[in-house]
C-alpha cells in the first residue's frame, strides 16, 4: 500500500470536545428522564401511532439507507477518479454500527422491558440496550450531510432525533441509550469526514485497487450478516444474486456492458479478465454455503472471519514497509498482515461464538489462505474456502 497523507488532529480535537460536551449534557438529561419517559409515552400511545413508529424504525429507515447506498455507488461510478463524498459517510455508518454492537456486548445493559415487566416492547429486541444502534447509524450521517449542505444536515438531524425518540416509544431503549447513540454516531461521522482522513481514504481509494477490493468485501460481509439477522435477506435472495452475477460475468467476458464493466473495473484484478467479478461471486457463494450448512451463529462468525480477517490480511499483507517480514512459503504475504487478519477475524467472530473457538477458526482459516490450492488448472478461491473451513472448525468445537 502506498504512502498516504499524514493525519493531523488539531482541528478535529475541537470537534471531539464539542461532541463530548454535548454528550455530557444529553447523558445527564437522559439519565434524569430514564424513569419518566415511558410513563409519558403511555399517555399518547395509540394503535395507529404504534404501527407508524414500527414502520419508521423497522422499514422506512432501511429504505433510506438502501437509497443512500445506491446513490453512493452511482456517484462512484460517475466520478472520473472513483471518489465521492459519500464514501466517508458510508464508512461512518458501518463503523457506528460495528462500534454500537461492541459497546452493547461490553456494557450488557438490559432492555427497559426486561427490567420493567410492565413495559411491552413493540419490537422483540434481544441484544443489549446501550447504546442505541438505530440512533448511532442515523446520527453518523448528520455531520457528513451538514458538511455537504447545511439545510440537509439540519433536516437529517431532525429525522435522526425522531428515530431515537421512536426507540424509546417502542420501549426498547432508555433516553440515556439515545444520548449514547447520538454521541457515537456524531463523533464517527465527524471523524470520517475530517479533511485529513478524507484525503488519506481518497488517496488509497484512487491508487490502491486492493484497498478498494478489500473495503468492498469488508463492508459487504457486515451488510449481509446484518440483513440476514434482520430477516431482510434469505438464502433464496442470495441464490438469485449468484445467478444474476454469474450471467453478468459471462456477458462481461464477451463484451463490455455499460455500468457493469466500469463497476467491475474498480475491483477486478488483471487475472479476472476471463471471469469478471470473480471475487464478489465466490464471496457470495461462500456466504450462501455458510448459511446453508452451518447453524446461524456459526455462519455469521464464519462470514465475519472472511470479511474482516481475510480483508485485513489482504489489505496489509503486501505493505512495502513489512517486506522483511514475509512468510517463507508465500513471499506475497507477511506475518503482520496474517496476525492482523487473525486478530480482526477473531474479534468479529467472538460476538457470535466463544472466544477460543473463534481464535482457532480464524487462525486456521487465515493461515490456510496463505497457501495456494490448485486442482488441475483451477485455483480454489479463498473467498470460498475461508468461511467453510472456519465454519467447519466452529461446528466441531461448539456442541
Question: pLDDT of 39-59, one tens digit each?
Answer: 899 888 899 999 999 999 988
Between 135 and 72, residue with greater pLDDT: 135
Residues 27 and 108 in one domain: yes
- Strand 378-379 and strand 326-327: the pairing is unpaired
Ranges 261-265, 288-292, 331-335, 385-389: which has the least confidence? 261-265
Q: Is 206 domain-assigned?
A: no
Question: Is 92 a member of any domain?
Answer: yes
DSSP state of 307: I
When mean pLDDT is compared across 103-112, 272-281, 298-307, the lowest value belongs to: 272-281
The verdict on 151 and 249 lying in the same domain is no
Q: How confident is the model at residue 83 (pLDDT cuts 50, 70, 90)?
A: low
Please state, in angstroms and rounded to a whole number, the distance separating the CA atoms of residues 357 and 297. Answer: 13
Measured in degrees and rounded to the nearest 5, phi and psi for residue 112 equal -55, -40
Q: Is the dihedral of CA 67, 73, 74, 75 positive or negative?
A: positive
174 and 118 within one domain:
yes
Q: Which three cell numbers stand for residue 69?
A: 447506498
* CATH at residue 56: 1.20.144
Residues 13-27: pLDDT tens digits? Answer: 788 888 888 889 999
Residue with cell 444536515: 153
Residues 46 and 182 in one domain: yes
Question: Please, how many CA atoms are within 13 Å of residue 250, restricted to the half-sphere of its CB?
Answer: 5
Q: Which of 98-102, 292-296, 388-392 has the lowest mean pLDDT?
A: 98-102
Query: Per residue in 191-207, is it b (16+ CB within 10 Å) or e — as a string?
Result: bbbbebbbebbbbbbee
246 and 117 share one domain: no
Q: What is the dihedral of CA 43, 47, 49, 53, to 10 degrees?
A: 110
Range scoring the smallest mean pLDDT among 73-77, 99-103, 114-118:
73-77
pLDDT band at 195 (very low <50, low <70, confident <90, very high): confident
State pLDDT tens for residues 119-130: 888 888 778 889
5 within domain boundaries: no
The H or E element containing residue 104 is: helix 86-107
Question: What is the DSSP-derived secondary structure letter of residue 332?
Answer: E
Residues 86 and 166 in one domain: yes
Range among 33-37, 74-78, 100-104, 296-300 rated most confident? 296-300
Query: Is the pLDDT reported for residue 272 higher than 90?
Result: no
Using CB atoms within 10 Å of the CB of residue 68, give its burial: 0 to 12 exposed, 13 to 18 middle, 19+ buried.
Answer: middle
User: What band does 245 get if pLDDT is binned at 50, 70 and 90?
Assistant: confident
190, 264: one domain: no
Residue 226 lies in a domain: no
User: What is the model's pLDDT at position 228?
Assistant: 87
pLDDT higher than threshold 90 for residue 357 = yes
Residue 362 pLDDT: 93
Q: Residues 144-164: pLDDT tens digits? A: 888 888 898 899 999 999 999
Q: What domain range is 128 assigned to?
A: 10-201
Domains contained in the chain, number: 2
Grid look-up 410513563 returns 39
Average pLDDT over every residue of 291-303? 93
Quickly count: other Cβ atoms within 10 Å of residue 49's Cβ.
Answer: 13
Work out whether the CA dihedral 31, 32, 33, 39 comes out positive or negative.
Answer: positive
Residues forming beta bridges with residue 326, ordered by sequence position: 334
Residues 62 and 181 in one domain: yes
Asked if residue 183 belongs to a domain, the reply is: yes
Q: Is residue 210 part of a domain?
A: no
Cα separation, 266 vs 96, in Å, equals 26
Single residue among 178, 201, 224 that ends a domain in this structure? 201
Helix (H) / strand (E) containing 154: helix 150-169
Q: Does pLDDT of 139 surpass 90?
A: yes
Q: What is the pTM assigned to this prediction? A: 0.65
Say if residue 341 is in the same domain as residue 388: yes
Report the alpha-carbon distance of residue 3 to residue 89 in Å, rounded: 23
- Give percent of the chain above pLDDT 90: 27
Q: 257: pLDDT confidence band, cut at 50, 70 and 90?
A: low
Say if residue 131 is preceded by a cis peptide, omega within 30 of 0.
Answer: yes
Read out DSSP for 200-221?
Answer: HHHHHHHH-HHHHHHHHHHHHH
Class of residue 273 by CB neighbours under 10 A (exposed 0-12, middle 13-18, buried 19+): exposed
The answer, yes or no, to whether residue 279 has pLDDT greater than 90, is no
Give the range among 133-142, 190-199, 250-259, 260-269 with minimum mean pLDDT. 260-269
Answer yes or no: is 259 within a domain.
yes
DSSP lists the bridge partners of residue 3 as: none
**Which comes out higher in pLDDT, residue 257 or 236?**
236
Average pLDDT over residues 311-336: 68
184 in the same domain as 62: yes
Nearest to 126 by CA among 168, 182, 176, 172: 172
Q: Do 259 and 368 have their domain in common?
A: yes
216: in domain: no
Same domain (yes/no): 37, 151: yes
Contact 202, 57 (CB under 8 A): no
Q: If you compute the radius of gyration of the chain from its CA atoms, what whole number of angstroms results?
A: 22
Amino acid at each position: 500500500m502506498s504512502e498516504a497523507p499524514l493525519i493531523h488532529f488539531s482541528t478535529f480535537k475541537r470537534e471531539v470536545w464539542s461532541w463530548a460536551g454535548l454528550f455530557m449534557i444529553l447523558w445527564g438529561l437522559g439519565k434524569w428522564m430514564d424513569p419518566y419517559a415511558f410513563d409519558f409515552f403511555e399517555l399518547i400511545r395509540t394503535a395507529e401511532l404504534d404501527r407508524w413508529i414500527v414502520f419508521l424504525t423497522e422499514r422506512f429507515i432501511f429504505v433510506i439507507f438502501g437509497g443512500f447506498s445506491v446513490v453512493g455507488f452511482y456517484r462512484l461510478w460517475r466520478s472520473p477518479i472513483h471518489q465521492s463524498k459519500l464514501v466517508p459517510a458510508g464508512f461512518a455508518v458501518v463503523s457506528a454500527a460495528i462500534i454500537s454492537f461492541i459497546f452493547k456486548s461490553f456494557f450488557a445493559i438490559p432492555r427497559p422491558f426486561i427490567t420493567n415487566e410492565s413495559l411491552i416492547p413493540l419490537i422483540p429486541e434481544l441484544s443489549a440496550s446501550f447504546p442505541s444502534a438505530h440512533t448511532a447509524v442515523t446520527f453518523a450521517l448528520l455531520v457528513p450531510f451538514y458538511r455537504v449542505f447545511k439545510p440537509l444536515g439540519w433536516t437529517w438531524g431532525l429525522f435522526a432525533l425522531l428515530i431515537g425518540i421512536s426507540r424509546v416509544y417502542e420501549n426498547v431503549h432508555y433516553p440515556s441509550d439515545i444520548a449514547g447513540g447520538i454521541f457515537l454516531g456524531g463523533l464517527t461521522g465527524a471523524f470520517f469526514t475530517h479533511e485529513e482522513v478524507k484525503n488519506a481514504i481518497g488517496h488509497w481509494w484512487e491508487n490502491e485497487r486492493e484497498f478498494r477490493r478489500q473495503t468492498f468485501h469488508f463492508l459487504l460481509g457486515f451488510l449481509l450478516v446484518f440483513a440476514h439477522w434482520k430477516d431482510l435477506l434469505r438464502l433464496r435472495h442470495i441464490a438469485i444474486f449468484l445467478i444474476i452475477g454469474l450471467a453478468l460475468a459471462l456477458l462481461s467476458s464477451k463484451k463490455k456492458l455499460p455500468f457493469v464493466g466500469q463497476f467491475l473495473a474498480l475491483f477486478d484484478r488483471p487475472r479476472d479478465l476471463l471471469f469478471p467479478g470473480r471475487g464478489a461471486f465466490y464471496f457470495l457463494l461462500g456466504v450462501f454455503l455458510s448459511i446453508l450448512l452451518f447453524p446461524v451463529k456459526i455462519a455469521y462468525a464464519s462470514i465475519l472471519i472472511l470479511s474482516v480477517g481475510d480483508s485485513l490480511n489482504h489489505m496489509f499483507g503486501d505493505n512495502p514497509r513489512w517486506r522483511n517480514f514475509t512468510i517463507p512459503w508465500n513471499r506475497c504475504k507477511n506475518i503482520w498482515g496474517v496476525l492482523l487478519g487473525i486478530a480482526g477475524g477473531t474479534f468479529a467472530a467472538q460476538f457470535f461464538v466463544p472466544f477460543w473457538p473463534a481464535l482457532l477458526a480464524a487462525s486456521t482459516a487465515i493461515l490456510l489462505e496463505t497457501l495456494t490450492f490448485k486442482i488441475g488448472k483451477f485455483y480454489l478461491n479463498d473467498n470460498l474456502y475461508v468461511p467453510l473451513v472456519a465454519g467447519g472448525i466452529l461446528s466441531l468445537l461448539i456442541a
